[in-house]
Structure 1
Amino acid sequence: MDVNSNRLFFIDAMRAWAILMMLQGHFIDGLLDTLFRDPNNLFYITWRYFRGITAPVFFTVSGFIFTYLLIKAKEKGWKNPRVKKGIRRGLQLVLIGYLLRLNLFGLLIGEIYESFYLVDVLHCIGLSLIAIIAIYLISSNRNKYLFPSILLLSTLGLFLFEPYYKQWSFSFLPNAIANYFTKSNGSVFTIIPWLGYTTLGGFVSVLFTKFKDLKHFYPAAITTALGTGLLLIFTSSDGFVFLFEQTGIKLFKLIELNNYLFIRLGDVLLVFAVFMIFRSLMMNKTILKIGANTLSIYVIHFIILYGSFTGLGLYRFFHHQLSPIAVIIGAIAFIFVCTYLSLLYAKQELAIKNQLSIAYASIKQEAILLQKSVMPKSRFYLLKIRLRLLRLIRFVKN
Structure 2
Amino acid sequence: METKTNRLFFIDAMRAWAILMMLQGHFIDGLLDPIFRDRENIVFNIWLYFRGITAPVFFTVSGFIFTYLLIRVPQKGFDNPRVKKGIKRGLQLLLIGYLLRMNLFGFLSGNIYDSFYLVDVLHCIGLSILALIGVYLLTIQKKKYLFPLLLLSITILLFLFEPLYKQWSFSFLPDAIANYFTKANGSVFTIIPWLGYATLGGFFSILFTQFKNYRYLYPVAITLASFVGFTLILYSSDGFVYLHKLTGIELFKLIEMNNYLFIRLGDVFVVFAVFMLLRQFMMNKTVLKIGASTLSIYVIHFIILYGSFTGLGLYRFFNHSLNPMIVISGAILFMVACTYLALKYHQHETEVKANISLGMNYTKNKGMELYSAGKQIFKEILVKVRLFLDRVFKPAK
TM norm. shorter chain > 0.5: yes
Displacement of 1:73:
1.0
> Which residue in the other structure is 1:129 paired with?
129
> Which residue in the other structure is 2:312 paired with?
312
Matched, 1:375 2:338: no
In structure 1, C-alpha distance between the alignment counterparts of 2:168 and 2:8, rounded to whole Å? 40
Displacement of 1:136:
0.3
Q: Which runs of 4+ in 1 moved over 2 A?
A: 1-5, 354-371, 373-379
> Which residue in the other structure is 2:257 paired with?
257
Q: Secondary structure at the match of 1:214?
A: coil
> Which residue in the other structure is 1:105 paired with?
105
> Which residue in the other structure is 2:282 paired with?
282
> Which residue in the other structure is 2:196 paired with?
196
CA contact (8 A) 1:4 1:213 kept: no
In structure 1, C-alpha distance between the alignment counterparts of 2:178 and 2:377, rounded to whole Å? 38
Q: What fraction of aligned residue pairs are identical, expressed as a percent?
A: 69
In structure 1, C-alpha distance between the alignment counterparts of 2:188 and 2:357, rounded to whole Å? 35
> Which residue in the other structure is 1:248 paired with?
248
In structure 2, C-alpha distance between the alignment counterparts of 1:28 and 1:378, rounded to whole Å? 58
* Distance verdict in 2 for CA 1:274–1:326, change over 3 Å: same
Matched, 1:338 2:368: no
In structure 2, C-alpha distance between the alignment counterparts of 1:290 and 1:312, rounded to whole Å? 26
Matches within 5 A, 1:198-217: 198-217=198-217
Displacement of 1:376:
3.6
The code of the aligned residue for 2:282 comes to M
Displacement of 1:4:
2.9
> Which residue in the other structure is 2:270 paired with?
270
Query: Cα deviations across residues 291-339 of structure 1 (Å, max 9, x unaligned)?
Result: 0000000000000000101111110111111111111100000001000
The code of the aligned residue for 1:7 comes to R
The code of the aligned residue for 1:132 comes to L
The code of the aligned residue for 2:272 comes to F
> Which residue in the other structure is 1:138 paired with?
138
Displacement of 1:211:
0.3
* Distance verdict in 2 for CA 1:290–1:223, change over 3 Å: same
Matched, 1:120 2:120: yes
Displacement of 1:350:
0.9
> Which residue in the other structure is 1:21 paired with?
21
Q: Secondary structure at the match of 1:375?
A: helix
* Distance verdict in 2 for CA 1:112–1:158, change over 3 Å: same
TM-score, normalisation: structure 2: 0.92
Matched, 1:157 2:157: yes
* Distance verdict in 2 for CA 1:303–1:248, change over 3 Å: same
* Distance verdict in 2 for CA 1:31–1:277, change over 3 Å: same
> Which residue in the other structure is 2:390 paired with?
none
In structure 2, C-alpha distance between the alignment counterparts of 1:139 and 1:378, rounded to whole Å? 59
Task: Count residues in correspondence.
Answer: 378
In structure 1, C-alpha distance between the alignment counterparts of 2:63 and 2:46, rounded to whole Å? 27
> Which residue in the other structure is 1:393 paired with?
none
CA contact (8 A) 1:63 1:201 kept: yes
Matches within 5 A, 1:207-246: 207-246=207-246
CA contact (8 A) 2:100 2:308 kept: yes
The code of the aligned residue for 2:189 comes to F
Q: Secondary structure at the match of 2:4?
A: coil
Displacement of 1:370:
7.7
The code of the aligned residue for 2:276 comes to M
Displacement of 1:140:
1.3
In structure 2, C-alpha distance between the alignment counterparts of 1:111 and 1:354, rounded to whole Å? 32
Q: Secondary structure at the match of 1:150?
A: helix
In structure 2, C-alpha distance between the alignment counterparts of 1:16 and 1:219, rounded to whole Å? 23
CA contact (8 A) 2:2 2:8 kept: no
TM-score, normalisation: structure 1: 0.92
Displacement of 1:351:
1.1
CA contact (8 A) 2:2 2:9 kept: no
> Which residue in the other structure is 1:325 paired with?
325
The code of the aligned residue for 1:155 comes to T
In structure 2, C-alpha distance between the alignment counterparts of 1:39 and 1:362, rounded to whole Å? 57
> Which residue in the other structure is 1:388 paired with?
none
Q: Secondary structure at the match of 1:38?
A: coil
In structure 1, C-alpha distance between the alignment counterparts of 2:302 and 2:278, rounded to whole Å? 31
Displacement of 1:267:
0.2
> Which residue in the other structure is 2:5 paired with?
5
The code of the aligned residue for 2:342 comes to S
The code of the aligned residue for 2:46 comes to T
Displacement of 1:110:
1.0
Displacement of 1:5:
2.8
Matched, 1:80 2:85: no
In structure 2, C-alpha distance between the alignment counterparts of 1:29 and 1:366, rounded to whole Å? 46
In structure 2, C-alpha distance between the alignment counterparts of 1:31 and 1:4, rounded to whole Å? 45
The code of the aligned residue for 2:139 comes to S
> Which runs of 5 or more structure 1 residues have no equivalent in the other structure?
380-398
Matched, 1:71 2:77: no
In structure 2, C-alpha distance between the alignment counterparts of 1:99 and 1:220, rounded to whole Å? 44
